[in-house]
Structure 1
Amino acid sequence: MGDIATTAKRLSRRVNWLVERICVALLVLLVLDVWLGVLVRYVIPLPLTFTEELARYLMIWMALLAVSSGIAHREHIGVAFVFERLPAAARRWLAVGFDVIGFAFFFALFWYGLGFAERGFSRLTMIYAMPKGYAFAGVPLAAAMACVQLALIGLHDFFARDVPEAVSAPTPDARVG
Protein backbone atom coordinates (compact mmCIF):
# COMPACT_ATOMS: atom_id res chain seq x y z
CA MET A 1 0.00 0.00 0.00
CA GLY A 2 2.89 2.36 0.70
CA ASP A 3 4.10 1.82 -2.89
CA ILE A 4 0.89 3.34 -4.23
CA ALA A 5 1.29 6.37 -1.96
CA THR A 6 4.94 6.80 -2.93
CA THR A 7 4.22 6.42 -6.64
CA ALA A 8 1.33 8.89 -6.45
CA LYS A 9 3.51 11.41 -4.63
CA ARG A 10 6.33 10.95 -7.15
CA LEU A 11 3.95 11.49 -10.08
CA SER A 12 2.49 14.53 -8.33
CA ARG A 13 5.98 16.01 -7.97
CA ARG A 14 6.75 15.41 -11.65
CA VAL A 15 3.53 17.01 -12.83
CA ASN A 16 4.12 19.91 -10.45
CA TRP A 17 7.70 20.32 -11.70
CA LEU A 18 6.36 20.89 -15.21
CA VAL A 19 3.54 23.20 -14.10
CA GLU A 20 5.92 25.32 -12.03
CA ARG A 21 8.25 25.79 -15.00
CA ILE A 22 5.33 26.77 -17.23
CA CYS A 23 4.19 29.28 -14.60
CA VAL A 24 7.69 30.75 -14.37
CA ALA A 25 7.85 31.04 -18.17
CA LEU A 26 4.47 32.79 -18.18
CA LEU A 27 5.69 35.11 -15.41
CA VAL A 28 8.83 36.01 -17.38
CA LEU A 29 6.69 36.76 -20.44
CA LEU A 30 4.33 38.81 -18.28
CA VAL A 31 7.15 40.91 -16.81
CA LEU A 32 8.71 41.49 -20.24
CA ASP A 33 5.32 42.42 -21.66
CA VAL A 34 4.61 44.91 -18.88
CA TRP A 35 8.09 46.43 -19.25
CA LEU A 36 7.48 46.78 -22.98
CA GLY A 37 4.13 48.40 -22.26
CA VAL A 38 5.71 50.94 -19.93
CA LEU A 39 8.50 51.67 -22.43
CA VAL A 40 6.18 52.26 -25.37
CA ARG A 41 3.84 54.39 -23.32
CA TYR A 42 6.32 56.66 -21.51
CA VAL A 43 9.76 56.36 -23.12
CA ILE A 44 9.54 55.27 -26.76
CA PRO A 45 6.31 56.46 -28.36
CA LEU A 46 5.41 53.41 -30.45
CA PRO A 47 1.87 52.42 -31.34
CA LEU A 48 1.99 49.02 -29.58
CA THR A 49 -1.43 48.46 -28.09
CA PHE A 50 -1.34 44.74 -27.46
CA THR A 51 0.68 44.80 -24.24
CA GLU A 52 -2.23 45.33 -21.83
CA GLU A 53 -4.35 42.60 -23.34
CA LEU A 54 -1.46 40.15 -23.47
CA ALA A 55 -0.56 40.91 -19.83
CA ARG A 56 -4.14 40.19 -18.78
CA TYR A 57 -4.23 36.80 -20.49
CA LEU A 58 -0.74 35.80 -19.29
CA MET A 59 -1.66 36.64 -15.71
CA ILE A 60 -4.91 34.68 -15.88
CA TRP A 61 -3.21 31.60 -17.32
CA MET A 62 -0.40 31.77 -14.78
CA ALA A 63 -2.74 32.18 -11.81
CA LEU A 64 -5.03 29.38 -12.93
CA LEU A 65 -2.18 26.95 -13.54
CA ALA A 66 -0.62 27.81 -10.17
CA VAL A 67 -3.69 26.36 -8.42
CA SER A 68 -2.51 22.82 -9.17
CA SER A 69 0.88 23.68 -7.70
CA GLY A 70 -0.82 24.82 -4.49
CA ILE A 71 -2.67 21.52 -4.37
CA ALA A 72 0.54 19.56 -4.88
CA HIS A 73 2.13 21.38 -1.94
CA ARG A 74 -1.07 20.95 0.12
CA GLU A 75 -1.45 24.69 0.45
CA HIS A 76 -5.09 24.74 -0.54
CA ILE A 77 -7.80 25.87 1.83
CA GLY A 78 -9.09 23.33 4.33
CA VAL A 79 -11.02 23.30 7.55
CA ALA A 80 -7.97 23.24 9.82
CA PHE A 81 -9.85 24.06 13.04
CA VAL A 82 -11.92 20.85 12.87
CA PHE A 83 -9.26 18.75 11.17
CA GLU A 84 -6.57 19.17 13.83
CA ARG A 85 -8.92 18.20 16.67
CA LEU A 86 -9.89 14.82 15.22
CA PRO A 87 -8.18 11.50 15.91
CA ALA A 88 -5.69 10.17 13.34
CA ALA A 89 -8.11 7.75 11.66
CA ALA A 90 -10.73 10.46 11.19
CA ARG A 91 -8.11 12.88 9.84
CA ARG A 92 -7.18 10.44 7.08
CA TRP A 93 -10.82 10.14 5.98
CA LEU A 94 -11.39 13.86 6.26
CA ALA A 95 -8.27 14.54 4.15
CA VAL A 96 -9.52 12.10 1.51
CA GLY A 97 -12.97 13.70 1.76
CA PHE A 98 -11.46 17.15 1.12
CA ASP A 99 -9.62 15.69 -1.87
CA VAL A 100 -12.85 14.20 -3.25
CA ILE A 101 -14.79 17.44 -2.75
CA GLY A 102 -12.01 19.43 -4.41
CA PHE A 103 -11.88 16.94 -7.28
CA ALA A 104 -15.66 17.23 -7.79
CA PHE A 105 -15.43 21.03 -7.85
CA PHE A 106 -12.53 21.14 -10.30
CA PHE A 107 -14.09 18.46 -12.50
CA ALA A 108 -17.27 20.57 -12.73
CA LEU A 109 -15.10 23.58 -13.54
CA PHE A 110 -13.31 21.52 -16.20
CA TRP A 111 -16.58 20.27 -17.70
CA TYR A 112 -18.28 23.66 -17.87
CA GLY A 113 -14.97 25.33 -18.79
CA LEU A 114 -14.87 23.27 -21.98
CA GLY A 115 -18.17 24.81 -23.09
CA PHE A 116 -16.98 28.24 -21.97
CA ALA A 117 -13.82 27.93 -24.06
CA GLU A 118 -15.75 26.53 -27.02
CA ARG A 119 -18.17 29.47 -26.99
CA GLY A 120 -15.15 31.79 -26.74
CA PHE A 121 -14.04 30.79 -30.22
CA SER A 122 -17.03 32.70 -31.61
CA ARG A 123 -15.90 35.94 -29.91
CA LEU A 124 -12.85 37.99 -30.85
CA THR A 125 -10.46 39.96 -28.66
CA MET A 126 -10.52 43.72 -29.08
CA ILE A 127 -6.90 44.30 -30.00
CA TYR A 128 -5.65 41.02 -31.49
CA ALA A 129 -8.94 40.11 -33.19
CA MET A 130 -8.17 36.50 -32.31
CA PRO A 131 -10.74 34.13 -30.85
CA LYS A 132 -11.13 34.47 -27.07
CA GLY A 133 -11.35 30.68 -26.87
CA TYR A 134 -7.56 30.49 -26.72
CA ALA A 135 -7.50 32.67 -23.61
CA PHE A 136 -10.53 30.90 -22.12
CA ALA A 137 -8.90 27.48 -22.66
CA GLY A 138 -6.86 28.19 -19.54
CA VAL A 139 -9.92 27.46 -17.38
CA PRO A 140 -10.47 23.81 -18.40
CA LEU A 141 -6.72 23.18 -18.67
CA ALA A 142 -6.06 24.47 -15.15
CA ALA A 143 -9.05 22.58 -13.79
CA ALA A 144 -7.80 19.37 -15.42
CA MET A 145 -4.36 19.89 -13.86
CA ALA A 146 -6.01 20.47 -10.48
CA CYS A 147 -8.01 17.23 -10.92
CA VAL A 148 -4.82 15.32 -11.71
CA GLN A 149 -3.09 16.71 -8.63
CA LEU A 150 -6.12 16.08 -6.40
CA ALA A 151 -6.35 12.49 -7.64
CA LEU A 152 -2.66 11.89 -6.96
CA ILE A 153 -2.72 13.60 -3.55
CA GLY A 154 -5.95 11.73 -2.71
CA LEU A 155 -4.28 8.41 -3.52
CA HIS A 156 -1.36 9.43 -1.36
CA ASP A 157 -3.65 10.47 1.53
CA PHE A 158 -5.56 7.21 1.33
CA PHE A 159 -2.61 4.81 1.06
CA ALA A 160 0.12 6.63 3.02
CA ARG A 161 1.35 5.06 6.26
CA ASP A 162 1.45 8.41 8.08
CA VAL A 163 -1.76 10.33 8.65
CA PRO A 164 -1.66 14.05 7.74
CA GLU A 165 -1.39 16.20 10.86
CA ALA A 166 -2.95 19.30 9.31
CA VAL A 167 -4.93 20.07 6.20
CA SER A 168 -2.32 22.42 4.76
CA ALA A 169 0.71 20.53 6.03
CA PRO A 170 3.04 19.02 3.46
CA THR A 171 2.69 15.31 3.05
CA PRO A 172 5.32 13.32 4.99
CA ASP A 173 7.05 12.16 1.80
CA ALA A 174 7.22 15.74 0.45
CA ARG A 175 9.85 16.80 2.97
CA VAL A 176 12.32 14.20 1.73
CA GLY A 177 14.37 14.79 -1.49
Structure 2
Amino acid sequence: MDLLAKRASLMSRRINWFVERLCVALMVLLVLDVWLGVLVRYVLPLDWTFTEELARYLMIWMALLAVSCGVAHREHIGVLVFFERFPPSMRKWLAVLFDVIAFAFFALIFFYGIGFVERGFGRYTMIAQIPKGWPFMGVPIAAVFACCQLALVAVHDFFAGDGVAAADRVEI
Protein backbone atom coordinates (compact mmCIF):
# COMPACT_ATOMS: atom_id res chain seq x y z
CA MET A 1 0.00 0.00 0.00
CA ASP A 2 2.98 2.28 0.48
CA LEU A 3 3.59 2.07 -3.28
CA LEU A 4 0.08 3.36 -3.96
CA ALA A 5 0.69 6.28 -1.59
CA LYS A 6 3.97 7.11 -3.33
CA ARG A 7 2.38 6.99 -6.78
CA ALA A 8 -0.49 9.23 -5.66
CA SER A 9 2.01 11.68 -4.18
CA LEU A 10 4.08 11.68 -7.38
CA MET A 11 1.01 12.33 -9.54
CA SER A 12 -0.11 15.10 -7.19
CA ARG A 13 3.31 16.76 -7.38
CA ARG A 14 3.33 16.56 -11.20
CA ILE A 15 -0.11 18.12 -11.53
CA ASN A 16 0.81 20.75 -8.97
CA TRP A 17 4.06 21.54 -10.82
CA PHE A 18 2.04 22.30 -13.96
CA VAL A 19 -0.66 24.32 -12.18
CA GLU A 20 1.88 26.38 -10.22
CA ARG A 21 3.69 27.36 -13.42
CA LEU A 22 0.39 28.17 -15.08
CA CYS A 23 -0.51 30.43 -12.13
CA VAL A 24 2.88 32.16 -12.37
CA ALA A 25 2.40 32.70 -16.11
CA LEU A 26 -1.05 34.16 -15.47
CA MET A 27 0.41 36.42 -12.78
CA VAL A 28 3.10 37.67 -15.16
CA LEU A 29 0.44 38.37 -17.79
CA LEU A 30 -1.67 40.12 -15.15
CA VAL A 31 1.18 42.40 -14.04
CA LEU A 32 2.08 43.25 -17.66
CA ASP A 33 -1.57 43.92 -18.47
CA VAL A 34 -2.02 46.23 -15.49
CA TRP A 35 1.16 48.12 -16.38
CA LEU A 36 -0.06 48.42 -19.96
CA GLY A 37 -3.37 49.73 -18.68
CA VAL A 38 -1.61 52.38 -16.61
CA LEU A 39 0.58 53.40 -19.55
CA VAL A 40 -2.39 53.57 -21.90
CA ARG A 41 -4.45 55.60 -19.47
CA TYR A 42 -1.82 58.15 -18.39
CA VAL A 43 1.07 58.13 -20.87
CA LEU A 44 0.28 56.72 -24.30
CA PRO A 45 -2.40 58.32 -26.47
CA LEU A 46 -4.12 55.01 -27.23
CA ASP A 47 -7.74 54.07 -26.69
CA TRP A 48 -7.22 50.52 -25.37
CA THR A 49 -9.93 49.72 -22.88
CA PHE A 50 -9.58 45.94 -22.90
CA THR A 51 -6.79 45.93 -20.29
CA GLU A 52 -9.14 46.33 -17.32
CA GLU A 53 -11.38 43.49 -18.47
CA LEU A 54 -8.43 41.24 -19.23
CA ALA A 55 -6.93 41.90 -15.79
CA ARG A 56 -10.19 40.89 -14.14
CA TYR A 57 -10.38 37.57 -15.98
CA LEU A 58 -6.67 36.77 -15.51
CA MET A 59 -7.00 37.33 -11.76
CA ILE A 60 -10.09 35.12 -11.54
CA TRP A 61 -8.43 32.28 -13.48
CA MET A 62 -5.29 32.52 -11.35
CA ALA A 63 -7.21 32.49 -8.07
CA LEU A 64 -9.38 29.55 -9.12
CA LEU A 65 -6.43 27.47 -10.31
CA ALA A 66 -4.47 28.24 -7.13
CA VAL A 67 -7.11 26.38 -5.10
CA SER A 68 -5.73 23.04 -6.32
CA CYS A 69 -2.23 24.10 -5.25
CA GLY A 70 -3.52 24.73 -1.74
CA VAL A 71 -5.20 21.33 -1.73
CA ALA A 72 -2.02 19.62 -2.96
CA HIS A 73 -0.01 21.10 -0.07
CA ARG A 74 -2.85 20.64 2.45
CA GLU A 75 -2.82 24.39 2.98
CA HIS A 76 -6.52 24.92 2.44
CA ILE A 77 -8.80 26.21 5.15
CA GLY A 78 -9.49 23.73 7.92
CA VAL A 79 -10.76 23.81 11.47
CA LEU A 80 -8.12 21.93 13.41
CA VAL A 81 -9.64 22.58 16.82
CA PHE A 82 -12.43 20.12 16.00
CA PHE A 83 -10.08 17.73 14.20
CA GLU A 84 -7.53 17.54 17.05
CA ARG A 85 -10.12 16.40 19.61
CA PHE A 86 -10.22 12.96 18.02
CA PRO A 87 -7.65 10.22 18.63
CA PRO A 88 -5.04 9.75 15.86
CA SER A 89 -6.66 6.51 14.67
CA MET A 90 -9.93 8.34 13.96
CA ARG A 91 -8.23 11.33 12.36
CA LYS A 92 -7.33 9.29 9.30
CA TRP A 93 -10.98 8.41 8.71
CA LEU A 94 -12.11 11.92 9.52
CA ALA A 95 -9.61 13.33 7.00
CA VAL A 96 -11.00 10.95 4.36
CA LEU A 97 -14.54 12.08 5.22
CA PHE A 98 -13.54 15.74 4.84
CA ASP A 99 -11.82 14.93 1.54
CA VAL A 100 -14.95 13.16 0.26
CA ILE A 101 -17.11 16.15 1.23
CA ALA A 102 -14.71 18.57 -0.47
CA PHE A 103 -14.55 16.30 -3.54
CA ALA A 104 -18.35 16.30 -3.76
CA PHE A 105 -18.35 20.10 -3.46
CA PHE A 106 -15.85 20.56 -6.28
CA ALA A 107 -17.61 17.93 -8.41
CA LEU A 108 -20.80 19.98 -8.06
CA ILE A 109 -18.89 23.11 -9.01
CA PHE A 110 -17.62 21.26 -12.09
CA PHE A 111 -21.08 20.02 -13.02
CA TYR A 112 -22.74 23.42 -12.66
CA GLY A 113 -19.68 25.15 -14.13
CA ILE A 114 -20.18 23.29 -17.42
CA GLY A 115 -23.67 24.77 -17.72
CA PHE A 116 -22.27 28.15 -16.73
CA VAL A 117 -19.77 27.94 -19.60
CA GLU A 118 -22.41 26.80 -22.09
CA ARG A 119 -24.65 29.74 -21.21
CA GLY A 120 -21.63 32.04 -21.29
CA PHE A 121 -21.05 31.40 -24.98
CA GLY A 122 -24.38 33.13 -25.62
CA ARG A 123 -23.26 36.30 -23.81
CA TYR A 124 -20.44 38.68 -24.68
CA THR A 125 -18.03 40.72 -22.58
CA MET A 126 -18.79 44.41 -22.40
CA ILE A 127 -15.52 45.79 -23.73
CA ALA A 128 -13.76 43.14 -25.84
CA GLN A 129 -17.00 41.56 -27.13
CA ILE A 130 -15.70 38.00 -26.76
CA PRO A 131 -18.00 35.19 -25.60
CA LYS A 132 -18.05 35.01 -21.80
CA GLY A 133 -17.74 31.24 -22.07
CA TRP A 134 -13.97 31.59 -22.49
CA PRO A 135 -13.36 33.37 -19.19
CA PHE A 136 -16.01 31.19 -17.48
CA MET A 137 -14.07 28.02 -18.43
CA GLY A 138 -11.83 28.69 -15.45
CA VAL A 139 -14.55 27.43 -13.10
CA PRO A 140 -14.87 23.81 -14.32
CA ILE A 141 -11.16 23.54 -15.15
CA ALA A 142 -10.18 24.62 -11.63
CA ALA A 143 -12.78 22.24 -10.17
CA VAL A 144 -11.28 19.31 -12.11
CA PHE A 145 -7.79 20.12 -10.83
CA ALA A 146 -9.12 20.44 -7.26
CA CYS A 147 -10.95 17.09 -7.53
CA CYS A 148 -7.82 15.38 -8.86
CA GLN A 149 -5.67 16.83 -6.09
CA LEU A 150 -8.20 15.92 -3.41
CA ALA A 151 -8.37 12.33 -4.62
CA LEU A 152 -4.59 11.98 -4.87
CA VAL A 153 -3.88 13.60 -1.50
CA ALA A 154 -6.58 11.48 0.16
CA VAL A 155 -5.12 8.28 -1.31
CA HIS A 156 -1.64 9.28 -0.17
CA ASP A 157 -2.75 10.16 3.35
CA PHE A 158 -4.84 7.03 3.77
CA PHE A 159 -2.29 4.55 2.44
CA ALA A 160 0.91 6.18 3.72
CA GLY A 161 2.94 3.82 5.86
CA ASP A 162 3.46 6.21 8.77
CA GLY A 163 -0.24 6.05 9.62
CA VAL A 164 -0.50 9.77 10.11
CA ALA A 165 -2.52 11.90 7.74
CA ALA A 166 -0.97 15.07 6.38
CA ALA A 167 -3.65 17.04 8.21
CA ASP A 168 -2.09 15.85 11.49
CA ARG A 169 1.21 17.48 10.55
CA VAL A 170 -0.27 20.88 9.72
CA GLU A 171 0.52 23.66 12.17
CA ILE A 172 -1.34 26.91 12.55
- Counterpart contact for 1:123–1:132, Cα < 8 Å: yes
The residue aligned with 1:164 is 165
The residue aligned with 1:27 is 27
The residue aligned with 2:115 is 115
- Counterpart contact for 1:84–1:166, Cα < 8 Å: no
Q: Label 1:167 to 1:107 Cα distance change in 2 as closer, same or farther (>3 A).
A: farther
The residue aligned with 2:136 is 136
The residue aligned with 1:127 is 127
Residue identity opposite 2:155 in structure 1: L
C-alpha RMSD of matched pairs (Å): 1.3
- Counterpart contact for 1:99–1:150, Cα < 8 Å: yes
The residue aligned with 2:63 is 63
The residue aligned with 2:13 is 13
> 1: CA distance between counterparts of 2:67 and 2:116?
19
Give the unaligned 5+ runs of structure 1.
171-177
> 1: CA distance between counterparts of 2:92 and 2:99?
11
Residue 123 (structure 2) pairs with residue 100 (structure 1):
no
The residue aligned with 2:3 is 3
- Counterpart contact for 1:84–1:165, Cα < 8 Å: no
Give the unaligned 5+ runs of structure 2.
none
Q: Label 1:125 to 1:167 Cα distance change in 2 as closer, same or farther (>3 A).
A: farther
Q: Deviations over 1:80-113 (max 9, x none)?
A: 0021222111010011111111100000000000
Query: Number of matched residues?
Result: 170
> 1: CA distance between counterparts of 2:75 and 2:29?
25
Q: CA deviation at 1:168?
A: 7.1
> 1: CA distance between counterparts of 2:89 and 2:151?
20
TM-score between both structures, scaled by the size of structure 1: 0.92
Q: Deviations over 1:120-146 (max 9, x none)?
A: 000001111110000001000000100
Residue identity opposite 1:142 in structure 2: A
Q: Following superposition of structure 1 onto structure 2, how do residues 33-44 of structure 1 map, counting pairs within 5 Å?
A: 33-44=33-44
**2:155 aligned counterpart, secondary structure:** helix
**2:20 aligned counterpart, secondary structure:** helix
Q: CA deviation at 1:79?
A: 2.2
Residue identity opposite 2:122 in structure 1: S
The runs of at least 4 consecutive aligned structure 1 residues that moved more than 4 Å come to none
Identical positions, percent: 68
> 2: CA distance between counterparts of 1:45 and 1:121?
33
- Counterpart contact for 2:158–2:165, Cα < 8 Å: no
> 2: CA distance between counterparts of 1:15 and 1:165?
18
